[in-house]
């Protein structure tokens, strides 16, 4: 049944619009896969907690006194009230505001007022814990399923995205900073993940900001923020032949990354300004010249960890896609500081997010509008099938299978969409 929704070059519109399909995605993908919860640096001390959303569940990630982490469902074992309502904080114990049931940081029950009145006081429960919790280089993931591949195996070929981000830090660690932005759209969650590596759309969807930047060449000589904005907007205006020179890499497990395409000025991968030189020296001190050069040479834009993360290692930014309903999605955008790097480097990260990822930015706002138009358009049943055939056959097809198991295609191929749906089909079918 599910298999019949995905053909090699087309997918049935039910995958985007059918609430029953979304319920099945929650059960078979979001209750099984490793989902990003938070970064270790958000909960450095005992009692520190953050609220996060793992698929359909709200979860408290909390640092225990023994230094370990617990991921607890945010639901009192008694009447079901939400225990924590602040996005983050510090607590010695977790206490329900309703009848004051109180829990330790590992979720076990400390005490219950008027305990003798309950029918079986020996059987009163603590908070339920998410079955699996693992960190990869400081990035904390959890899974609602007790069984399944290890986190490292799940991340597979895209462990490299986290490796490169952390390796870029002269002190060897990264720290969350700068708060977070939230995008929201009335459309299916998969659209965000597909669009993030769709290299045909920028020249059309982002044309208004490309053209606006083209008529202001003076911006390229202005202050750092203006320059960064102009360079970022202009880069989206590459010709199709240039986009095709930005390879896409698809890895087993549904993961995909695209190479970088920011080449000019302040957004170039390597620069010779004094700040970058200081940074490079600090990195060489940590890694030695060869490894430092190799780390800086990794120039990728979006690294997509299936099902719902996009990491930009070079700019220290990450987007976590959180599906709320078949036609309702939020995306949290977060930033990481490279510990040990010059402070000025972090301005690039903040401005990257402000200029392209903020819901009010000249870039993301147009993408979100397009997702909503797709969602509304797909309500039409005039054609049950959605085309994803570009680059699947014919003259364009030049996919290359690599020794590491990845497949590489030209930038304008829809290989990533087909690849994501192959993985989707596998998880959804069983």
Partner 1 sequence: MGELELWHRVQAFLFHEARLLDERRFGEWLELYAPDAEYWVPYAWEQKDPKEHVSLFYETVTLLRMRVDRLENELSPLDAPKSRVNHFLSNLTVEDAGGSELVARAYLLYCEYRREEQRWFAGRATWRLRAEGKSYRIAAKRVDLLNADQDSGHLRFAIPF
Binding site for partner 1 (CB under 8 A): 87, 177-184, 205, 207-209, 211-213, 215-216, 218-219, 222-223, 225-226, 229-230, 233, 330, 332-333, 335, 347, 350-351, 353-355, 358-362, 365-366, 368-370, 373
Shortest Å distance, C-beta 184 to partner 1? 4
Shortest Å distance, C-beta 376 to partner 1? 10
Complex with partner 1: residue 17 or 335, whichever CB lies closer = 335
Complex with partner 1: residue 159 or 346, whichever CB lies closer = 346
Complex with partner 1: residue 200 or 407, whichever CB lies closer = 200
Residue 64 · residue 18 · CB < 8 Å: no
Q: Nearest 10 degrees: CA dihedral of 279, 283, 289, 295? A: -100
Complex with partner 1: residue 79 or 214, whichever CB lies closer = 214
Shortest Å distance, C-beta 188 to partner 1? 16
How far is residue 197's CA from residue 409's CA, in Å, rounded to a whole number? 12
Shortest Å distance, C-beta 406 to partner 1? 32
Complex with partner 1: residue 190 or 346, whichever CB lies closer = 346
Complex with partner 1: residue 89 or 179, whichever CB lies closer = 179
12 φ, ψ (degrees, to nearest 5)? -75, 140
Shortest Å distance, C-beta 209 to partner 1? 5
Residue 246 · residue 236 · CB < 8 Å: no
How far is residue 205's CA from residue 193's CA, in Å, rounded to a whole number? 16
Shortest Å distance, C-beta 176 to partner 1? 12
Shortest Å distance, C-beta 330 to partner 1? 5
How far is residue 115's CA from residue 31's CA, in Å, rounded to a whole number? 33
Q: What is the 3-state secondary structure (H, E, C) of the chain?
A: CCHHHEECCEEECHHHHCHHHHHHHHHHHHCCCCEEEEEHHHCCCCCEEEEEEECCEEEEEEECCCCCEEEEECCCCCCCCCCCCCCEEECCCEECCCCCCEECCCCCEEECCCHHHCCCHHHCCCCCECCEEEEECCEEEEECCCCCCCHHHHHHHHHHHHHHHHHCCCCCCEEEEEEEEEEEECCCHHHHHHHCCCCCCHHHHCHHHHHHHHCCHHHHHCCHHHHHHHHHHHHCCCCHHHHHCCCEEEECCCEEEEECCCCCHHHCCCCCCHHHHHHHHHHHHHHCHHHHHHHHHCCEEEEEECCCEEEECCCCEEEEEEEEECCEEEEEEEEEEECCCCCHHHHHHHHHHHHHHCCCCCCHHHHHHHHHHHHHHCCCCCCCEEECCCCCCHHHCCCEECCCCCEEECCCCCHHHHHHHHHHHHHHHC
Shortest Å distance, C-beta 360 to partner 1? 5
Complex with partner 1: residue 281 or 373, whichever CB lies closer = 373
Shortest Å distance, C-beta 210 to partner 1? 9
Shortest Å distance, C-beta 336 to partner 1? 12
Complex with partner 1: residue 198 or 366, whichever CB lies closer = 366
Complex with partner 1: residue 167 or 327, whichever CB lies closer = 327
Quote the tokens at residue 201: 């759309």
Shortest Å distance, C-beta 28 to partner 1? 27
């Amino acid at each position: 049944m599910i298999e019949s929704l995905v053909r090699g070059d087309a997918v049935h519109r039910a995958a985007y619009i059918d609430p029953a399909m979304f319920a099945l995605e929650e059960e078979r993908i979001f209750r099984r896969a490793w989902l990003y919860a938070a970064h270790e640096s958000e909960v450095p001390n005992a009692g520190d907690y953050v609220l996060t959303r793992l698929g359909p569940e709200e979860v408290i990630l909390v640092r225990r006194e023994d230094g370990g982490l617990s991921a607890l469902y945010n639901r009192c074992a008694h009447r079901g009230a939400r225990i924590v309502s602040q996005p983050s904080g510090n607590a010695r114990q977790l206490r329900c505001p309703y009848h004051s049931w109180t829990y330790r940081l590992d979720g076990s029950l400390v005490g219950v007022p008027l305990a003798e009145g309950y029918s079986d006081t020996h059987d009163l429960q603590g908070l339920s814990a998410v079955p699996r919790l693992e960190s990869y280089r400081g990035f904390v993931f959890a899974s609602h399923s007790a069984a399944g591949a290890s986190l490292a195996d799940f991340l597979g070929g895209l462990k490299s995205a986290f490796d490169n981000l952390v390796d870029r830090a002269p002190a060897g660690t990264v720290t969350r900073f700068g708060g977070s932005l939230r995008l929201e759209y009335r459309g299916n969650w998969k659209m965000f993940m597909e669009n993030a590596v769709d290299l045909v759309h920028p020249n059309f969807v982002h044309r208004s900001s490309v053209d606006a930047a083209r008529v202001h060449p003076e911006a390229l000589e202005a202050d750092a923020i203006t320059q960064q904005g102009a360079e970022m907007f202009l880069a989206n205006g590459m010709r199709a032949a240039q986009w095709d020179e930005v390879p896409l890499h698809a890895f087993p497990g549904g993961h995909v990354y695209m190479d970088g395409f920011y080449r000019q000025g302040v957004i170039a991968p390597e620069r010779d300004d004094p700040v970058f030189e200081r940074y490079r020296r600090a990195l060489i001190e940590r890694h030695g010249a060869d490894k430092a050069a190799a780390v800086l040479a990794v120039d990728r834009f979006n690294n997509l960890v299936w099902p719902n993360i996009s990491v930009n290692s070079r700019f220290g930014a990450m987007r976590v896609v959180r599906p709320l309903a078949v036609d309702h999605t939020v995306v949290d955008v977060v930033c990481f500081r490279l510990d040990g790097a010059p402070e000025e480097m972090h301005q690039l990260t903040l401005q990257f997010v402000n200029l392209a990822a903020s819901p009010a930015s000249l870039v993301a706002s147009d993408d979100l509008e397009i997702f909503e138009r797709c969602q509304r358009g797909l309500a039409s049943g005039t054609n049950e099938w959605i085309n994803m055939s570009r680059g699947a056959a014919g003259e364009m097809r030049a996919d290359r299978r690599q020794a590491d198991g990845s497949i590489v295609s030209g930038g304008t191929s829809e290989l990533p969409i087909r690849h994501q749906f192959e993985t989707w089909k596998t998880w959804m079918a069983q």
